[in-house]
Amino acid sequence: MQLIFMGPPGAGKGTQAQLLAALWKIPHISTGDILRACVVAKTDLGQKAQSYMDRGELVPDELLMDIVQERMNQPDARAGWILDGFPRTVAQAAFFDKLLCDVEGSTSGKDCALRAVNLDVPDNVLVARLLSRGRQDDNEETIRRRLQVYREQTEPLIDFYSGRQQLVAVDGDRAMELVTAELQQVLSIDS
């Protein structure tokens, strides 16, 4: 089981990824968590990433891919994984596709076992959810800007994975338990 969880900020992808990863006994791989762990552990990749982060720059795609690849090569990921927070752009997805195909020995992303899950939630619901978290940086202006960035940079992944028949779309504007139940049904390990 190789899954990418996508959706705008506040859609519930991290929550659902954690629940299903625990249920299916596969790792929930969050790129943000990986970056922080590499930095804390002072790995070579973590030190390289830290230099960009210290300057307030985004970690370059290639370095991020190396970090993701290193994590995916760990023994607990052999049975599958749920990736959350990566890829964020079509360029990253194409690079990731090549990595997966190299690992699996297939020639195109269409042949890989990957499935991308998009949690669809209306913007007004997302704003309300994010405001209710009470985080200091979650004001309405910042949230709307994050949603705009998501629409510009990450939303094109929906077409990318849909064109490869790898996209699973789920209505995320429901109770958490209902979303989890639908995800379990449409992503059944037996399917």
User: Which residue numbers are catalytic?
Assistant: 13, 88, 133, 135, 146
Cα separation, 48 vs 43, in Å, equals 9
Going 144 to 150 to 156 to 161, the CA torsion angle's sign is: negative
Could you tell me which of 4, 6, 18, 7 has the C-alpha nearest to residue 123? 7
**DSSP 8-state assignment for residue 59:** P
Map tokens 């190789």 to a residue. 2
Q: Which pair of tokens denotes residue 110?
A: 């269409």
Map tokens 């760990």 to a residue. 74
**DSSP 8-state assignment for residue 79:** T
Map tokens 């992503």 to a residue. 187
What 3-state class would DSSP assign to 13?
A: helix
